[in-house]
C-alpha cells in the first residue's frame, strides 16, 4: 500500500524466517506492507507484532523509529476494530518525523475513519493533507485518497466533483501500474458508480469488472475498506440494472468482520437497497461470490485443487465446492471451459 513493489519485497522476505524478522524489525515492516498490498491484512498484522516486539527506539535510515512505523502498520490493517485503529494511527502520526512520507497513510486512514463516523469536516481536512503528502511518493495510497474524496462528494450528491476525483484516481492507477493490486478495488468501484450514473454503461461495466477482479485476489483486507468497496460496487451494479450482482455483494457483508461500521456505511447500505428495489436482475453475468471469484483466478494455472487450497488457506474440499459452483454458474463442464468463459464475461484478464 506504499510504493507498488509488493511482489519484489514479498519474494525477498519469503527467504526470512520468523526469527529473522524478529531480529530485523525493518524487514518485518517491509514484509508487512507488501502483505497488505497483496490483500493479506492478517500477515501484515503479524509482521507489525514482530516489529513492535523488538527495539522500539531503533532509528531507521529515514529518521523514523520502529514504534510509530509498527503502530502505523498495525492500525492500517484495521483488524482490531476502528477505535483501536484510530489510537494506533494517532500515536503513529505523532511519532513520525513531520515530513515523513508515511504520514500520508496515517492521515488517509484517520480521514477515512472520520468519514465513516460522519465527521465530514475532519475527514475532508485529513484527506486533503494526505493527498498533498502522498502525491508523487505513495501511488497506491494516493489513488485511494482520491477515491475516498470522491465518496465524500457523492454522499452529498456533488457528482461532478466526485467524477473529477474518480478520474484522477483512475489516471493515477494507470500511470503507476497499480490497477491490478488487491487493495485498489475502491478506485474502479467508485468510477463505475460515477460512470453508471452518467449513463456510460459500457465503461461503467468495465470498471465494475475490474473492481471484481481486485476483490477476487484479496485474502484478508482492511474490513471497513472491503465493506465500503462492496457497497459502492453494489450501488454501481444496481444503477446498471443488475440487481443480482448487487444483491450478491450486499450479502457478502456478513462475511466481513466489520465492528461498528459507523453511520456512513449504514447510509450506503440503505442507498444500495433503494437502488436494488428499482433494478432488474440484469444481464450482468454469472452471480459468483467473491470466494468463488478468488478460486476462479487460479483455474488458469497448473495448480491442483489441493495446491490452490494451500494458496488460499482453505481445504481442498472447499476449493472443489467453489469449482463446482463456478462450473454451474458459468454453464460449463471443465476447467478450461471455465477459464474461457471467465475471460469472455470479464472475470479473468
| Close Cβ partners of 252 (under 8 Å, ≥ 6 residues apart) | 230, 289, 290
Whole-number Å distance between alpha carbons of 187 and 207: 9
- With beta carbons less than 8 A apart as the criterion, state whether 212 and 192 touch: no
Whole-number Å distance between alpha carbons of 281 and 159: 26
Whole-number Å distance between alpha carbons of 176 and 167: 14
8-state DSSP, 5: -
Whole-number Å distance between alpha carbons of 245 and 254: 16
pLDDT tens digit sequence for 269-297: 888 888 888 776 555 556 788 888 889 98
C-alpha cell read off for 140: 497506491
Sorted by where each starts, the structural domains of the chain and their CATH numbers stand as 1-91 (no CATH), 115-278 (1.25.40.10), 285-349 (1.10.10.10)
Phi, psi dihedral angles at 285 (to 5 degrees): 105, -175
**12: enclosing H helix or E strand:** helix 6-13
Residue 258 buriedness (CB in 10 A; 0-12 / 13-18 / 19+): buried
| The pLDDT value given to residue 281 | 55
| The pLDDT value given to residue 8 | 57
Find the mean pLDDT for residues 225-231: 92
Whole-number Å distance between alpha carbons of 267 and 346: 30
Entry pTM: 0.80
332 — pLDDT class (breaks 50, 70, 90): confident
Find the mean pLDDT for residues 101-119: 94
Of 304, 145, 154, nearest in space to 232 by CA: 154
| The pLDDT value given to residue 16 | 65
Amino acid at each position: 500500500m506504499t510504493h507498488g513493489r509488493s511482489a519484489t519485497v514479498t519474494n525477498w522476505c519469503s527467504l526470512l524466517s520468523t526469527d529473522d524478522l524478529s531480529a530485523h524489525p525493518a524487514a518485518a515492516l517491509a514484509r508487512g506492507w507488501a502483505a497488505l498490498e497483496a490483500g493479506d491484512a492478517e500477515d501484515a498484522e503479524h509482521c507489525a507484532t514482530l516489529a513492535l516486539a523488538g527495539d522500539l527506539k531503533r532509528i531507521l535510515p529515514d529518521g523514523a523509529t520502529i514504534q510509530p512505523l509498527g503502530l502505523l502498520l498495525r492500525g492500517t490493517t484495521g483488524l482490531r476494530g476502528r477505535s483501536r485503529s484510530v489510537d494506533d494511527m494517532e500515536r503513529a502520526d505523532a511519532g513520525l518525523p513531520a515530513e515523513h512520507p508515511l504520514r500520508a497513510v496515517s492521515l488517509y486512514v484517520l480521514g477515512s475513519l472520520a468519514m465513516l463516523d460522519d465527521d465530514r469536516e475532519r475527514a475532508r481536512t485529513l484527506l486533503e493533507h494526505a493527498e498533498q503528502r502522498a502525491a508523487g511518493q505513495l501511488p497506491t495510497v494516493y489513488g485511494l485518497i482520491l477515491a475516498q474524496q470522491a465518496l465524500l462528494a457523492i454522499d452529498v450528491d456533488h457528482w461532478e466533483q466526485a467524477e473529477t476525483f474518480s478520474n484522477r484516481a483512475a489516471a493515477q492507477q494507470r500511470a503507476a501500474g497499480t490497477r491490478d493490486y488487491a487493495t485498489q478495488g475502491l478506485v474502479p468501484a467508485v468510477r463505475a458508480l460515477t460512470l453508471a450514473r452518467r449513463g456510460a454503461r459500457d465503461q461503467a461495466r468495465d470498471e465494475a469488472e475490474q473492481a471484481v477482479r481486485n476483490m477476487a485476489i484479496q485474502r484478508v483486507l482492511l474490513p471497513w475498506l472491503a465493506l465500503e468497496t462492496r457497497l459502492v460496487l453494489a450501488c454501481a451494479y444496481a444503477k446498471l440494472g443488475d440487481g443480482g450482482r448487487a444483491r450478491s455483494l450486499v450479502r457478502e457483508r456478513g462475511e466481513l468482520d466489520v465492528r461498528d461500521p459507523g453511520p456512513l456505511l449504514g447510509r450506503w447500505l440503505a442507498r444500495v437497497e433503494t437502488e436494488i428495489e428499482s433494478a432488474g436482475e440484469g444481464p450482468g453475468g454469472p452471480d459468483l461470490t467473491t470466494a468463488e471469484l478468488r478460486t476462479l483466478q487460479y483455474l488458469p494455472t497448473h495448480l491442483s485443487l489441493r495446491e490452490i487450497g494451500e494458496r488460499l488457506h482453505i481445504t481442498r474440499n472447499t476449493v472443489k465446492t467453489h469449482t463446482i459452483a463456478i462450473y454451474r454458474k458459468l454453464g460449463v463442464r471443465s476447467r478450461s471451459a471455465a477459464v474461457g468463459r471467465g475471460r469472455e464475461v470479464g472475470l479473468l484478464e
